[in-house]
Chains A and B, each alone.
Chain A
């Protein structure tokens, strides 16, 4: 048992450093996103008397395509944001903030891949690479 703990003691210390670095990354991501979203919000509310957009009825953006390829779906995400940007700068800035927010946990996983690799922990480098691949698949194939 003691032998076991000794074997893992340095890893635990490295883990702590990795976790501390991740904590800083998460905080920066959330603060940056919140600031951008708030700025965009102020711009949206420049015209406070404007009517409320209709959220009661759902409208899908563009035409749903049955064939989803890597290429078309990345383009569709970009198209959604381009549309938002042209729709009004406020919504565009909010969208940018939201993108940074969504990127934050993904960056966290990428960070962990590098951290585990530097600890020469092959098993957990592979595990975090699998998670990263699933996240990438979602962004690329989403649609």
Chain B
């Protein structure tokens, strides 16, 4: 294989990964890493390095669109970024300590969890109001547009959300992914924020979280420019196409198919790690 065919093959698969990541709402990184490792036999550390770069690109690229819609909450995002960036630092440090086998197994588990979480219904009940706790002192509140006008919301169970965010950051740093599924878990399930606010704020946070691992990845040599190039451009392009499709079409069938693909990747990832093929 020449460098041209290899780069084009990686570029094509990365477009698909970005598309899949956008349509399932899981992000391109979670798809591109197992594909690079399992299909192209790229060392896991180079794969997570290339993925991390594409995660920063998609997060920053999509955030500029979300901000205009008025869903993302910059204060809640900034406060929780303390947890995710600290977690990411530790996760990125761990990549040098933990074996690739263990990283592969953790990755497989995250894939399986993500696939399940993409099926979870969006609850859009009336958001809970002030409880006078930490959320009030930190002003973790806001308003978002609904069919009935602006709806106010206040974050609940802040320490639990902060803790899960720390875990999300750790996984992001260890696996080179955005770990959007875990971030949404923290905001949607623990903090009871409206679903739209959770997903868009999560996307907003992913780039900053990933940047916290990037410095460590660079100096460790995980980021190979000639590999990161087709991955970044492909995933970015694919996710832009994916978000266009999302606006126009109902994607429940597609989502089902893609979730199955992610389950297969997760199982394969765990199997390859256990049998030492990774």
Contact = CB atoms under 8 A, between A and B. Distances in A.
Given A27-B61, A77-B219, A142-B218, A94 B42 contact: no
Contacts of A109: 78, 81, 208
A67 interface: no
* Category for how many chain A residues contact B: 35 or more
A61 B42 CA distance: 17
B225 A101 contact: no
Among B46, B57, B210, the most chain A Cβ lie within 10 Å of the Cβ of: B57
Nearest to B68: A23
Interface in B66-111: 67-68, 70, 72, 74-75, 78-79, 81-82, 85-86, 88-89, 92
B211 interface: yes
Interface in B90-145: 92, 138-139, 142-143
A57 B215 CA distance: 22
Given A26-B60, A76-B219, A37 B233 contact: yes
A47 B226 CA distance: 13
A40 to B, nearest CB: 6
Task: Tell me the interface secondary structure of chain B in the complex.
Answer: helix
A143 B2 CA distance: 33
Contacts of A81: 218
A64 B207 CA distance: 28
Contacts of B226: 44, 53, 90-91, 94
A29 B60 contact: yes
Interface in A96-129: 98, 101-102, 104-106, 108-109, 112, 123-124, 127-128
A52 to B, nearest CB: 4
Nearest to A109: B208
B74 to A, nearest CB: 6
Among B6, B63, B92, B229, the most chain A Cβ lie within 10 Å of the Cβ of: B229
A107 B211 CA distance: 11
B170 interface: no
Interface residues of B, number: 66
Contacts of B59: 105
A6 interface: no
Contacts of B192: none
Interface in A49-98: 49-53, 55-61, 73, 76-77, 80-81, 84, 90-92, 94-95, 98
A120 to B, nearest CB: 14
Contact of A37 (B63, B218, B232): B232
A106 to B, nearest CB: 5
Contacts of A53: 3, 224, 226-227
Given A101-B53, A105-B60, A52 B3 contact: yes
B4 A55 contact: no
A26 B213 CA distance: 19
10 contacts: A29-B60, A44-B225, A48-B2, A52-B1, A77-B218, A104-B207, A105-B210, A108-B207, A128-B78, A131-B208
Interface of A: 5, 8, 12, 15-16, 18-20, 22-24, 26-27, 29-30, 33-34, 37-38, 40-41, 44-45, 47-53, 55-61, 73, 76-77, 80-81, 84, 90-92, 94-95, 98, 101-102, 104-106, 108-109, 112, 123-124, 127-128, 130-131, 134-135, 137-143
Given A26-B207, A105-B211, 12 more contacts: A5-B152, A12-B143, A20-B68, A29-B60, A30-B57, A52-B2, A56-B43, A101-B232, A108-B207, A124-B79, A134-B212, A137-B89
